[in-house]
């Protein structure tokens, strides 16, 4: 039965973030041609034969050197991609630094309340007729936003990824707040994001039950300062100021798969 106090979510791509440190000592003795061969083998392993896409990111700082972001149709396809990369010779020079599993998620706070109210006027909540009508409406909403659930990998130069939670502490607990309060706070939160439309592409993914945090956030932009301004401004809205907890941030430069040999040879890889 659909709980009117739990916001519905619509799901899209399955996402896998793989973060590696490059063992440069294992590549240093190889020729440039040999590194190009390793890169080509890895690029083939990460290629998407059907639906989905892959991004390669040179990570800044000590946390990792390389981030691989995979958008796929299912966890099975993520598993195949991870195994295919693990079988490559290049993988011998990659040391896992972190990873993250999630699914593109679109929260439906306001729509959930609206649909419950509309259907309750026609059907008794909890009945088979109500549940069927509710599922049909959610599927209609899913079809309407399919391009947001299965978006193309943004090809912006700069990428920022971080996981986050909604606080569940003794004095402040997001999940015990009234539905209407949570909806109002998320509305305020979303208005800030809309202001940055066109400057940054946000990919929000749900990871409750999949990984150590509740959501993953990917930001793509042509100017990295947008990340700072957006996240700083959001810190002042109530949903973030009172209830948000943030994990580690990974920031870097996206580059084209064809530039992987350049990266392995110590050059700065380009996006195009």
- With respect to residue 128, please indicate whether it lies within any of the assigned structural domains: no
- With respect to residue 256, please indicate whether it lies within any of the assigned structural domains: no
250 a catalytic residue? no
Measured distance between the N- and C-terminal CA atoms of the chain, rounded to whole angstroms: 49
pLDDT the model gives residue 263:
97
pLDDT the model gives residue 226:
96
Annotated catalytic residue: which of 109, 162, 196, 250? 162
- With respect to residue 95, please indicate whether it lies within any of the assigned structural domains: yes
Token output for 267: 């050059």
- With respect to residue 65, please indicate whether it lies within any of the assigned structural domains: yes
pLDDT the model gives residue 50:
84
- Is the pTM value of this prediction over 0.95? no
pLDDT the model gives residue 120:
87
- With respect to residue 56, please indicate whether it lies within any of the assigned structural domains: yes
- With respect to residue 196, please indicate whether it lies within any of the assigned structural domains: no
- With respect to residue 58, please indicate whether it lies within any of the assigned structural domains: yes
Q: What is the 3-state secondary structure (H, E, C) of the chain?
A: CCCCCCCEEEEEEEEEEEEEEECHHHCCCCCHHHHHHHHHHHHHHHCCCCCCEEEEEEECCCCCCEEEEEEECCHHHHHHHHHHHHCCCHHHHEEEEEEEEEEEEEEEHHHHHHHHHHHHCCCCCCCHHHHHHHHHHHHHHHHHCHHHHCCCCCCCCEEEEEEEEECECCCCEHHHCCHHHHHHHHHHHHHHHHHCCCCEEEEEEECCCCCCCCEEEEEEECCCHHHHHHHHHHCCCHHHHHHEEECCCEEEEEECHHHHHHHHCCCCCCCC
* Residue 46 near residue 70, CB atoms below 8 Å: yes
What range defines the domain where residue 24 resides?
A: 13-104
- pLDDT digits 0-9 by tens, 183-212: 899 988 888 888 888 899 999 999 999 999
pLDDT the model gives residue 140:
92
**Number of domains into which the chain is organized:** 1
Q: Tens place of pLDDT for every residue, the chain, 272 residues?
A: 677 778 889 999 999 999 999 999 999 999 999 999 999 999 999 999 888 999 999 999 999 999 999 999 999 999 999 999 999 999 999 999 999 999 999 988 888 888 888 888 898 888 999 999 999 988 999 999 999 999 999 999 999 999 999 998 878 999 999 989 998 999 888 888 888 888 999 999 999 999 999 999 999 999 999 999 999 998 898 999 999 999 999 999 999 999 999 999 999 999 98
In angstroms, the CA 244 to CA 203 distance is: 17
Residue 82 sits in a domain whose CATH number is 3.30.70.1030
């Amino acid at each position: 039965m659909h709980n009117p106090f739990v916001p519905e979510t619509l799901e899209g791509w399955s996402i896998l973030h793989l973060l590696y440190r490059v063992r440069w000592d294992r590549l240093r003795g190889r020729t440039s041609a040999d590194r190009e061969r390793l890169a080509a083998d890895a690029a083939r392993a990460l290629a998407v034969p059907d639906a989905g896409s892959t991004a390669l990111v040179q990570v800044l700082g000590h946390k990792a050197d390389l981030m691989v972001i995979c958008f796929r149709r299912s966890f099975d396809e993520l598993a195949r991609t991870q195994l295919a990369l693990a079988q490559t010779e290049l993988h011998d020079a990659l040391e896992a630094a972190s990873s993250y599993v999630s699914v593109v998620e679109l929260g439906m706070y306001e729509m959930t309340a609206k649909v419950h109210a509309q259907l309750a006027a026609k059907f008794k909540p909890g009945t088979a007729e109500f549940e069927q009508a509710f599922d049909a409406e959610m599927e209609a909403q899913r079809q309407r936003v399919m391009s947001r659930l299965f978006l193309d990998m943004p090809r912006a130069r700069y990428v920022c990824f971080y996981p986050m939670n909604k606080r569940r502490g003794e004095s402040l607990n997001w999940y015990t707040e009234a539905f209407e309060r949570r909806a109002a706070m998320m509305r305020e939160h979303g208005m800030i994001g809309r202001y940055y439309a066109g400057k940054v592409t946000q990919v929000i993914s749900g990871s409750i039950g999949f990984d150590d945090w509740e959501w993953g956030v990917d930001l793509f932009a042509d100017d990295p300062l947008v990340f700072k301004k957006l996240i700083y401004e959001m810190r002042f809205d109530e949903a973030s100021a009172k209830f948000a907890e943030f994990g580690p941030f990974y920031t870097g430069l996206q580059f084209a798969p064809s530039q992987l040999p350049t990266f392995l040879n110590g050059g700065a890889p380009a996006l195009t």
